[in-house]
């Protein structure tokens, strides 16, 4: 507020200087039209994503932009969903060992080589994907691909390094337990997909991490690190022809045969409306997540649901704007001093998903926050307006265009798209899908997934005020006459 007061105080004295010459309406209109044309041209002038398949089934995809740097990585269609109760956490363990060298490169040599390149190596594991990617200078693309191929095919798995990483992962599990946002989302998966592979965490259990052996990790790699499930993706200053040649040189030896002679399909996962409550009155704030079953990656209903989520928006007490925010739920939260924060989410998997809302509240405002949140869901099902849909569509467009900022998000976008959709979906196509959404479509799609559906609920902290599940379920519809 102090900064805005200073701005207003100085504005009166220098208003004429700040305003400058008044532009005519015609010139202002011309500027707006030029801006709209630039946006449309930007969508269609994005370099084409080129895709080539090797003989072993590995796909090579790239987008060339002529930048001095590039990001290249290997995306693998495997994660904790492909694990069992006994080896849950094996994928996360293997990912950690990527930084510990290979059979060709001991740990010290591996680290020195990365430092001499000035490159950044990163990796992650999710429930359905594993990725190893590197950002480097464009001239170092051959070395980067060779190193990534070495990591994927020749992971060291030395007993000494395994024991070091075992201690590191056990410490990470303790840190994760202190992050209540991560904890409540793990609980949400555990109850929503109970009895299925998606209920398990990516990191695995403490018991499994203590028990996993070198043979278990080697068996995991041999089973899942196959060429048909891999994508070599690159973005930035890369030549697709060169990338394909490098892939043939370093990755043509990745095995492609399976015991069953077919790429394993992830086990089906059913959604169950249910709840998990972990009451701990010693905690200062409660974390609550509520979700219904959402669509899989390739389902066209995802776009209207993303628009619906952006209508609800997100809120944190540290945000400016107060009760003048565009989000109706955020305005209610400010006026009634409800939650500390809330955020919507639409988590997708190959054949299912979670569409919901997570909020953080003190012990005395849980019921009211949940009441207004479910009320917003019902309003989207029955009376979403054209104005708020238009605003949400513009926010979604902005988020999509932001993917153009940097080679790393572009590379990740390419790799994940080929695994999730089988192709790279262009921004022009996304924009066309967004443009087709209107208020009626939002109402119909929200009614399909939200209205009168059994939700999954997870809550941690001082949650005595959280309503009974039957009351939460009864708020998933309105009695209308």
342: tokens are 């809330």
Q: Which of 64, 83, 95, 161 is catalytic?
A: 95
**How many Cβ atoms are within 10 Å of 261's Cβ, its own excluded?**
6
Q: Are 232 and 251 in contact (CB under 8 A)?
A: yes
**Token duo for residue 183:** 């904890």
Task: Mark whether 85 is an active-site residue.
Answer: no
Which H helix or E strand runs over 156?
Answer: none
For residue 403, the tally of other CB atoms under 10 A from its CB is 14
Distance CA 215, CA 153 (A): 16
Pairing of strands 230-236, 59-64: parallel
Strand partners, 422: none
Chain centroid to CA 236? 22
Q: Which residues of 426-465 are buried (b: 16+ CB within 10 A; e: fewer)?
A: ebeebbebbeebbbebbbebbeebbbebebbbbbbbbbeb
- Give a three-class secondary structure readout of 44-113: HCCCCCEEEECCCCCEEEEEECCCCEEEEEEEECCCHHHCCCCCCCHHHHHHHHHHHCECCCCHHHHHHH
Contact (CB, 8 A) for 75 and 233: yes
Catalytic residues: 95
């Amino acid at each position: 507020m102090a900064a805005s007061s200073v701005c207003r105080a100085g504005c009166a004295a220098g208003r004429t200087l700040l305003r400058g010459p008044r532009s005519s309406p015609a010139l202002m209109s011309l500027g707006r039209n030029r801006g709209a044309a630039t946006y449309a041209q930007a969508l269609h002038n994005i370099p084409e994503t080129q895709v080539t398949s090797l003989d072993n089934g590995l796909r090579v995809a790239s987008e060339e932009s002529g930048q001095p740097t590039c990001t290249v990585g290997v995306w693998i269609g495997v994660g904790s969903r492909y694990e069992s109760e006994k080896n849950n956490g094996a994928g996360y363990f293997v990912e950690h060992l990527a930084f510990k060298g290979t059979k060709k490169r001991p740990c010290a040599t591996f680290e020195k080589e990365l430092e001499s390149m000035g490159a950044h190596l990163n990796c992650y594991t999710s429930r359905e994907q594993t990725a190893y990617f590197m950002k480097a200078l464009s001239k170092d693309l051959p070395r980067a691909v060779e190193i990534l191929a070495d990591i994927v095919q020749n992971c060291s798995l030395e007993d000494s390094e395994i024991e070091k990483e075992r201690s590191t992962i056990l410490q990470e599990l303790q840190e994760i337990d202190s992050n209540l946002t991560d904890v409540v989302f793990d609980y949400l998966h555990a109850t929503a997909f109970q009895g299925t592979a998606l209920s398990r965490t990516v990191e695995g259990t403490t018991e499994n991490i203590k028990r996993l052996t070198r043979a278990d990790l080697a068996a995991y790699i041999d089973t899942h690190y196959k060429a048909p499930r891999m994508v070599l993706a690159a973005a930035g200053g890369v030549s697709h022809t060169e990338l394909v040649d490098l892939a043939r040189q370093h990755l043509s030896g990745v095995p492609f045969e399976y015991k069953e002679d077919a790429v394993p399909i992830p086990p089906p996962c059913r959604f169950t409306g249910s709840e998990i409550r972990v009451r701990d009155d010693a905690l200062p704030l409660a974390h609550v997540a509520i979700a219904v079953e959402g669509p899989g990656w390739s389902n066209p209903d995802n776009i209207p649901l993303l628009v619906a989520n952006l209508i609800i928006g997100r809120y944190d007490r540290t945000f400016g704007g107060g009760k003048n925010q565009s989000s109706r739920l955020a305005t209610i939260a400010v006026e009634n001093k409800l939650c500390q924060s809330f955020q919507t989410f639409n988590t997708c998997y190959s054949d299912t998903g979670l569409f919901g809302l997570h909020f953080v509240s003190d012990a005395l405002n849980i019921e009211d926050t949940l009441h207004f949140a479910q009320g917003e869901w019902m309003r989207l099902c029955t009376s979403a307006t054209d104005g708020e849909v238009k605003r949400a569509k513009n926010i979604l467009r902005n988020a999509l265009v932001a993917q153009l900022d940097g080679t790393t998000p572009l590379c990740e976008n390419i790799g994940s798209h080929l695994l999730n959709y089988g192709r790279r979906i262009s921004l022009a196509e996304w924009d066309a899908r967004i443009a087709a959404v209107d208020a009626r479509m939002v109402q119909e799609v929200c009614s399909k997934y939200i209205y009168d559906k059994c939700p999954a609920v997870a809550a941690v902290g001082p949650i005595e005020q959280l309503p009974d599940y039957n009351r939460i379920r009864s708020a998933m519809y309105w009695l209308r006459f």
